[in-house]
A and B are shown apart, each in its own frame.
Chain A
Amino acid sequence: MKKSLALGLAVLILASFAPAAKRLGLAAGYAKQLGSGFGGGLAAGLSFGFELTPMFAVEARAGLITSSVSGSPTGLSKGSMTLTPLTVALTARFGKGSKLVPYGVLGAGYSANSFKVDPGVKSDWTGLGLTLSESVKGGLIVLAGGGVDYLLKPGPKPGQGVFLNVEIRYLMGKADGSWSLTDTAGGEEAAGVLDGLDLSSLVFGVGLKYGF
């Protein structure tokens, strides 16, 4: 996977030197986690894309999604989750040349994840002489979505300028985690794994894109 990402990144860097039209975007919004026990959180993303054909483009995006976790006896404890999805997607644009351009995206990527146990929960256990630790590994994700680009300020050429962007993305992914509880007195440890945590989310975003 990492090799694929590196390859994708290399292609994008090379493509950025190509004469095709490119687009740089910045978006923020709200992410609704679909897995049980996860609450909503903020989402942000930075994207770079370039046209393959007048209709299709490739887009690379680095995102950041935060989520609260309410905690469950079999999953993660109460705490906060941060997902950092790195994705490459194929974009199909419809109605090029008009001010309002709807598009659809389909892609895949890798999400680096981190989880922090709620400080209150952690200190409860620390107060009883136990160290609580939980972590979530990274995992593959696939994405599908759609949106609309609205031309706010035209540029010197068609497809260039500043666009207002509204979109919705579905990120589907699972990841494994682990937990441990360690007695500080003697070092005795109870530990286990958390298989297939559902980290899927719906991300609603608003942003600006700059085409050049």
Chain B
Amino acid sequence: MKTKNSFKPALAVVCFAAFGLILLAPSKASLQTVRPEAPGPADLSGGEAFKDVLNPKMDYVLAKLYDIDRVEGADRARAFAAQRGVEMDVHGVRIEVESSAQNAALGLFPESQAVKSRVQSLGGFVERIHKNLVQGRLPIPALDALSSSPSVRYVRVPLRPAPLAEIVSEGVAVTGADLWQSVSAYRNTGGGTKVAVLDAGFTGYQALLGTELPSAVTAKSFRADGNLAAEVHGTACAEIVHDMAPNARLWLVNSGSLAELYDAVEYLVEEGVKVISYSMGWWNAGDGKGTGPVCDVVDYAAENGILWVNSAGNSAEDHWEGTFADSDNDGWLNFSGGDEILQWWVPAYTVTGAYVNWDDWGTWNGSNYSGSSQDYDITLYYYTGGQWKVATSSQNMQTGNQWPVEQVGDYYGNAGMWWGLAIKKYSATRNCKLEVFTYGNSDPIEYNVPQGSLLIPSDSPSALTVGASDWRDDSYHSYSSRGPTHNGADKPDISAPSGVSTSTYGAAAGPIAGWPSFALMPSAFYGTSASAPCAAGAAALFLEKTPFTPEQTAAVLKARAVDLGDPGADYKFGRGRLNLKKK
């Protein structure tokens, strides 16, 4: 177990929820600063299979929710929903339905209308439809009936991206953008480039208009609740784009679910946007080879002449991947020797959990994957009283038609503690290559494998994928997700300055003597979240001043990058640090 302080962004979210399996009332006295010894290797031999009888067309969390509601009542179901981050209100639970893909090859999705009718007939309502995706709310007792409809392929809790923060403006001088800002445009009469910051939210952006942001921006929310101020993260990203390209015209657009993301990007295409800055990442939303529903959105943007600039992710230290191995034949994955639990340290009040997927996605046909028949399940543990205790598990069915994914979270403790993950082969004919992403850990996870830790859609060949380097000295930020993609493609494409100043997060401080970790440093905007808008702003500036196309601009940014790390392209820095100066 590595215990050194990491150079990692605080992705921590302080949670004030009032209940949960392992939650205690917050108390000052329980804020531990001394970390207990890491637990030794764990053998889970004898553990029983915990898979319930599930409807294979429903994800584990919804199936469990349905079961709890039926057996234990609505109050307990609401508690479970809150604990698992499932959105609920008086209309029911928010769901994402994939309709059957009949005529999908023709781009037609008539079954989505059938799903809409079925949702309405079951007392729910539909918020949004995009191709085969239907997003809406449904009373919990109706979940089983909906998923049994022949028009339904799969029902799940909506996939959500995560902001890749928290981690500006020093990037302007470092990259040479200041040299370009005063140059007259060549053969470009359009004025500032249209740039969209597509993010989770833009809290407080109005107060920055005319100073840290242009005097006027176009702001629009595609969230079902219309809440543009759901997050502050996007405001900081927009600041960086504006710092790099002061004349750029900004669209501040937020979305949450996949269907909302599709609609947001269709809107941006109609608006004639040329660059999209996306400092968000998705787990379990694709095979890591540049396909899947989120990468599909990126491809759509690129086909319409948009340069999509994406954060690589901040997950290099939160990632493990390897082929299933079970040396003691007990059905549980042995991460190393006899150790069957992958562990990580989580500070108090920091939400944690894990995402697992494996290489059995099938073929992406433009609207979905053909599906997985290799069934693995996962269990989340916490370490207390000298032993591992089960927090929760995830037991999605993989019977040939579902995605090869499991997810556990969002848990936290009122004291720092060790958390662990175990993976069980439930029904599989081969040893799949598994991939684990954790969140909430303050240090690198045990058996950390930084390679291949790209988040979706940074694996897309249509995206300009940006890793993080330090603005002071071009050093690699250890959290910055590394390539390659799961099909061996070089990523990230470039790196760009991180740890920079924004009015949203504060000014960047120089290295502070004796300070234990950059993660704990006050202020500054760290993470590939800060790097992506720096590259997006550079692209916008280049497009404003020259007649190059967005696609050519991406090629220019790659060619001009200052080589860092291993000579040539590497999996940490890509082609090197973003550079607009003459090379």
Contact = CB atoms under 8 A, between A and B. Distances in A.
B30 to A, nearest CB: 56
A185 B560 contact: yes
A124 interface: yes
Contact of A192 (B547, B558, B583): B547
Given A183-B559, A188-B556, A190-B547, A128 B180 contact: yes
A187 to B, nearest CB: 8
B117 interface: no
Contacts of A74: 187, 189
Contacts of A179: 187
B552 A188 contact: yes
A98 interface: no
A115 to B, nearest CB: 15
Given A124-B183, A128-B183, A129-B560, A188 B555 contact: yes
Interface in B526-583: 546-549, 552, 555-556, 558-560, 580-583
A128 B559 contact: no
Nearest to A75: B187
A181 interface: yes
Interface string A175-195: 000010101111110101000
Q: For the complex, would chain B's binding face be called helix, strand, loop or mixed by DSSP majority?
A: loop
B468 to A, nearest CB: 22
Most B CB contacts (10 A, CB to CB) among A77, A126, A185 go to: A185
Nearest to A129: B582
B582 A128 contact: yes
A128 B583 CA distance: 8
A119 interface: no
A186 B559 contact: yes
A73 B189 contact: yes
B583 A190 contact: no
Contacts of B180: 128
A130 interface: yes
Interface in A114-165: 124-130, 132
Given A181-B547, A184-B582, A190-B547, A125 B556 contact: no
B267 interface: no
A77 B560 contact: no
Given A74-B189, A127-B582, A181-B546, A186 B183 contact: no
Contacts of A190: 187, 546-549, 552
B185 interface: yes
Contacts of B555: 186, 188
Interface of A: 73-74, 77, 124-130, 132, 179, 181, 183-188, 190, 192
Given A126-B582, A181-B186, A188-B559, 12 more contacts: A73-B189, A127-B179, A127-B582, A128-B179, A128-B180, A129-B581, A130-B546, A184-B582, A186-B555, A186-B558, A187-B559, A188-B556
12 contacts: A73-B189, A74-B189, A127-B179, A132-B186, A181-B548, A186-B555, A186-B558, A188-B552, A188-B556, A188-B559, A190-B552, A192-B187
10 nearest interchain CB pairs? A186-B559, A129-B582, A185-B583, A185-B559, A190-B547, A73-B189, A190-B548, A185-B560, A183-B556, A188-B555
